[in-house]
Structure 1
């Protein structure tokens, strides 16, 4: 059963031994389904006491013109957007794209919380940076809603309706830049959010280090620890017998603090230490020195996610390859080393 405790069409499909689509066709009176199969589905729905929720009812009655946007990292840390302008820009681009197509975009909190109304009439949903086995993504899928994500859910390889950046390729791109600028002992600082961004970037770093014959220098610190977390991990990195001469930190605030600690020790940046971030933010843009960072295409990704969802609403039944948006590399003073 779904995490909310309600019986869903997914439960009915499992009990009847058919697909969710077949159950949806029977319950909505659509499609050609064999009489015996139809009877079995209706019997299972009755035995399980399945009741169509208001979302499904609204879909049968026509479009509501509303799309939900769930930003999962902000669910985890609270909706304080300071320092995470990436999400503000993504949401703005998604809202503008939806409005241009005649839809409204509604920012929603964690849909699995008991305090969130279950009877929201929605045409579809977008889940940003889902966690592994994400319960919000599962909730939307269980309700039979068309849903796409920004970034993949590693626990759902079959769900390829997503848009985003190629995090493995972009991580290698940043590591190669640090090598080109003279880095030889390159450390990687990832976050702890259980999502594809961290999973894929860590996997890329470990594979890259193995290819180069470098001992991995990998540390993890919670994203929500911000600059304080960066200060703590800098102490760990710089106390090593052979400290790194370059650091790539996924989170911009961590990168800024690492650079600040290095300078407090008298280390020149970029002369003694190269510093780069896997995500651009106001912190990396306005730091002294400026921190080289990847801009993870928030506007392009927001637009692609809405367009992909609207394709599903228009009847796109077959999965399509993920929509990949290239990140933009901003090289700043923290890696501007003359070789």
Structure 2
């Protein structure tokens, strides 16, 4: 039996260098967007490589550079709040945008699902990481520092290597919307971890209480207990504060739990209470009624996070995303929309 498939010699860096009239090092730096190479030379190399149908060998790149060309998405948030039973929470939704952007930049994304009893870094060969909403004294952040692994945070403390999720803007959107929708005694349910998002929502809620003249009513819930913790916190607030007419619950897992508590108390949303959450994700859209939330523009957040990490790793970024879109309110039936 004859094999009719045409075989051809693989085009190498040396072939491109010979055709371009440049050194293999210059060609390598040009193709990988690293080093100090004149932009016209870099483009010339890419044009020659395209004409010769050069395809880089990922294995050779790893051996040559000592890099894995892999980055990881990490989070210390318990799976109960970051993904939930459906595995379609904030963490996994952000991962899709990160994986797409990383792959277009020549990297693969390693998704390390939140695990309470495992050190994921001991099992991975990565060049860098993106850490989602770290807690104060976050153990994963400490491990990254100890291992000298470059990383970017998303929704963490302000700084040059943090991608801002604009917590205060999101909180103001939801709280002002509740007031405009008729709420005069709103309550707040937060995660007890002390993450930047929860602290910011607390601060903006207290500011709104002072500005609008209502008494603050706040409950804390344990992240690791997931939806059940949100349900218990909401039930407690409803029993202790019968005048409540709205709940702002930034963590969407807690928000769906709050909805169960409201129904168990014989009340309805939005008839008796208005209900909002932060992330406009699958959970917010699939609740009954659907929850008013905020579009955090996760595609833009993903692009900015990958770009910043690649800059830290030494890559030149063309047209970096400098300003993220401001969050947008997505009004739904849970607030009467």
The alignment's TM-score, normalised by the length of structure 2, stands at: 0.70
Aligned to 1:41: none
Distance in 1 separating the partners of 2:131 and 2:147 = 14
Matches within 5 A, 1:252-267: 252-267=252-267
Shift of 1:135: 2.6
Shift of 1:220: 1.1
Aligned partner of 1:135 among 115, 136, 139: 139
Distance in 2 separating the partners of 1:231 and 1:64 = 43
Q: Which structure 1 segments of 5+ residues have no match?
A: 1-57
Higher mean Cα deviation, 212-221 or 181-190?
212-221
Q: Deviations over 1:75-130 (max 9, x none)?
A: 78797662543211211111111110111111236899886564854322211111
Aligned partner of 1:151 among 133, 152, 155: 155
Aligned partner of 1:87 among 88, 91, 101: 91
Aligned to 1:173: 173
SS of alignment partner, residue 214 of structure 1: coil
Shift of 1:259: 3.1
Q: Which structure 2 segments of 5+ residues have no match?
A: 1-61
Aligned to 2:303: 303
Cα separation, partners in 2 of 1:308 and 1:263, compared to 1, 3 Å:
same
Does residue 324 of structure 2 align to residue 332 of structure 1?
no
Question: CA contact under 8 A between 1:71 and 1:127: conserved in structure 2?
Answer: yes
Matches within 5 A, 1:69-218: 69-74=73-78, 82=86, 84-108=88-112, 116=120, 118=122, 120-153=124-157, 159-218=159-218
SS of alignment partner, residue 73 of structure 1: coil
Aligned to 1:31: none
Distance in 1 separating the partners of 2:224 and 2:114 = 17
Question: CA contact under 8 A between 1:247 and 1:275: conserved in structure 2?
Answer: yes
Q: Deviations over 1:175-222 (max 9, x none)?
A: 000000000001011112231111211122122212323211111112
SS of alignment partner, residue 244 of structure 2: coil
Cα separation, partners in 2 of 1:233 and 1:65, compared to 1, 3 Å:
same
Aligned to 1:236: 236
Q: Which has the larger radius of gyration?
A: 2
Question: CA contact under 8 A between 2:230 and 2:253: conserved in structure 1?
Answer: yes
Question: CA contact under 8 A between 1:112 and 1:135: conserved in structure 2?
Answer: no
Root-mean-square deviation over aligned CA pairs:
3.3
